[in-house]
Structure 1
Amino acid sequence: MSTENTTYRPESLTANRPLLWIAAFLSILMMAPVAWIVGLSIKSNQDLMLGTETVFQLPYTIANYINILHSSQAFGWFFNSLVVACGQTLGVLVLSSLAGYAFARLEFPWRRTLFVIVLFGLAVPEQAVIIARHQMFNWFGLHNSYIGLILPNLSSAFGVFLMTQFFRAIPKEIDEAALLDNASQFRIFWKIMLPLTLPAQATLGIFTFLYAWNDYWWPLISATRKEMFTLTIGIASSQTNFAQSEGLGFLSAQAVFASLPVLIVYLIFQRHIVTAVSGGAVK
């Protein structure tokens, strides 16, 4: 009785090796600006005044990060960004979940028409309504406040669409069984349906937090007092006169400091982000 040679030969890996090299090269290329900023942040401002090519030379220092702790408004801006990002994330999750459940599971007049109008929001750029929004918030005196920074982005057309599609994918037999047990609509939503949508909520929450944290356009218009700046606006305002004001190394350290929460969120929830990008959030 003869036996066949079952030795595994990674022919597919060999065939895809050029693609792997290309992907590795592009990854290094995209990481180069990050490495450059980190390198600038650990160089003294005096050395960088002589030329940025000194980033490849010793010595290195953490003095710029120490200066953030002692002489910078970055912590105040950090707190503002944290309040705005968390407030927007919580608000979008609540409103999108309620609206998505209503569009997917309830019957009410003009439901389809209203859903189409919500989807139109995906096609309207923020810049198209920025003047009217600015005037409206100015009339109500909401500029330079947390409410003014959080409120405009609570209406998420993408969030409503995502949650609607996810609720529609849940079998209706679950609702019917709960109704037979005399459960109210709110109890069905809160106790049964909402826990089943945790993957979609995680996806929506991650993207909302990242968008709110990196948002520059609306905080630039609404926050005119320095104490209400978010990190994106505060760091941009510190770059006046380039490195002559506070030092290029110090500004780079602020940029690294501002990016840490985004990096932490990505490392913790990267599985949900990959699922969302691959289209696995809505089944």
Structure 2
Amino acid sequence: MNPLLRRGWFDRLVMAGLTLLALAWIAPLLWVLALSFKPNEFLLRHTDVFLAPPYTLANYLDILQTSQVFRWLGNSAAVALLQTVGVLILSSLAGYGFARCEFPGRRALFALVMFGLAVPAQSVFIPLHRLFSDWNLQNTLAGLALPGLAAPFGVYLMTQYFKAIPTELEEAALLDNASRFKTFFSIVLPLTLPAQATLGIFTFLACWNDYLWPLVIATKPEMYTLTRGLASTQTNFAQSEGLGFLMAQAVFAGLPALMLYLFFQRHLVTAVAGTGKS
């Protein structure tokens, strides 16, 4: 058989396999989306027929009629934005320092930061809660956002990306008597836009979907994030409102994160490719 023809058949088989895997991955998402448009009384009898009518928007209207849902949405947006901006700033500065600056203990300190990747966030909830309670930061936006600023993955990503940038660009600026900070902000930092976008997406999604820390630190309904608030309505009304209402909540909570990912997805491949350079 012609090698080119054999390669063509192999590529088709690989594409068919990837298509099947993609369909298997997306099927539960489509099931959730379809059930969110079904009347709850219909779902009491059927949950397996999700493409056929009837359809309704009542489940989404019930969410919008929840008294504090837009406040929860605003809390989630504010916390996610604060945490994302903070992580981008701190990770960029730390990554540049580890990639470009020589100082005593640099390797040991970087190894200590990387060790943070192995520490589960849940294992430090008790000391964090006591610390933030002593600082009177319980039920505040700062209390919700500050723990997420410790981002070992962000430091690693930015360090690897800074290492991939040629040092000649900085050396030319330094020869022109530019300061280290001016070189960083004017020349090096703009080149890291793909990595910044990728880190921003990961940070925003992790904060937006976080449930455990808001459950611990936010005890007043007006300070709930969207995940915490919707979970509280499920606890109170899940059995009476039905499965369609729960599915609509899942879709409603996931839409902002999905739109953010679709908007910035083209930067992901560029950033990952950049971290692979030495």
SS at match of 1:137: helix
Structure-2 change in CA distance of 1:40 and 1:185 (3 Å): same
Q: Does 1:255 align with 2:250?
A: yes
Q: Does 1:266 align with 2:261?
A: yes
Q: Does 1:110 align with 2:113?
A: no
> 2:176 pairs with 181, 189, 212, which one?
181
Q: Give me the TM-score of the superposition, normalised by structure 1.
A: 0.88
Structure-2 change in CA distance of 1:221 and 1:208 (3 Å): same
- Check whether the contact 2:95–2:162 (CA below 8 A) recurs between aligned residues: yes
Residues 195-274 of structure 1: matches in 2 within 5 Å?
A: 195-240=190-235, 243-274=238-269
> 2:83 pairs with 81, 85, 88, which one?
88
Q: Does 1:281 align with 2:274?
A: yes
- Check whether the contact 1:44–1:249 (CA below 8 A) recurs between aligned residues: yes
SS at match of 1:281: helix
Q: Following the alignment from structure 1 to structure 2, what is the Cα–Cα distance between the partners of residues 72 and 11?
A: 62
Residues 96-105 or 106-115, more deviating: 106-115
Q: Which amino acid aligns with 1:98?
A: L
> 2:189 pairs with 189, 194, 213, which one?
194
Aligned Cα RMSD in Å?
2.2
Specify the alignment match of 1:41 in structure 2.
36
Specify the alignment match of 2:138 in structure 1.
143
Q: Following the alignment from structure 1 to structure 2, what is the Cα–Cα distance between the partners of residues 75 and 255?
A: 15
The alpha-carbon deviation at position 60 of structure 1 amounts to 0.9
Q: Following the alignment from structure 1 to structure 2, what is the Cα–Cα distance between the partners of residues 8 and 120?
A: 48
Q: Which digits, 9 at most, give the CA deviation of each residue in 1:36-76, with x for residues without a partner?
A: 21122111222223443464542211122223333353322
Q: Following the alignment from structure 2 to structure 1, what is the Cα–Cα distance between the partners of residues 58 and 5?
A: 50
- Check whether the contact 2:87–2:150 (CA below 8 A) recurs between aligned residues: yes
Q: Following the alignment from structure 2 to structure 1, what is the Cα–Cα distance between the partners of residues 168 and 270?
A: 27
Q: Does 1:97 align with 2:92?
A: yes
Specify the alignment match of 1:11 in structure 2.
6
The alpha-carbon deviation at position 87 of structure 1 amounts to 1.0
- Check whether the contact 1:49–1:243 (CA below 8 A) recurs between aligned residues: no
The alpha-carbon deviation at position 142 of structure 1 amounts to 1.1
Residues 153-162 or 11-20, more deviating: 11-20
Write 1 or 2 for the structure with the bigger share of helix.
2
Structure-2 change in CA distance of 1:72 and 1:281 (3 Å): farther
Q: Following the alignment from structure 2 to structure 1, what is the Cα–Cα distance between the partners of residues 13 and 200?
A: 37
Q: Which amino acid aligns with 2:75?
A: N
Q: Following the alignment from structure 1 to structure 2, what is the Cα–Cα distance between the partners of residues 184 and 47?
A: 68
Specify the alignment match of 1:4 in structure 2.
none
In the alignment of these two chains, the number of paired residues is 275
Question: Can you give the 5+ residue segments of structure 2 that lack an aligned partner in the other structure?
Answer: none
Specify the alignment match of 1:133 in structure 2.
128
Specify the alignment match of 2:55 in structure 1.
60
Structure-2 change in CA distance of 1:56 and 1:101 (3 Å): closer
Larger Rg: 1
Q: Following the alignment from structure 1 to structure 2, what is the Cα–Cα distance between the partners of residues 15 and 161?
A: 37
SS at match of 2:274: coil
Q: Following the alignment from structure 1 to structure 2, what is the Cα–Cα distance between the partners of residues 259 and 12?
A: 40
- Identity among equivalent positions (%) equals 57
Structure-2 change in CA distance of 1:78 and 1:28 (3 Å): same
Structure-2 change in CA distance of 1:190 and 1:235 (3 Å): same
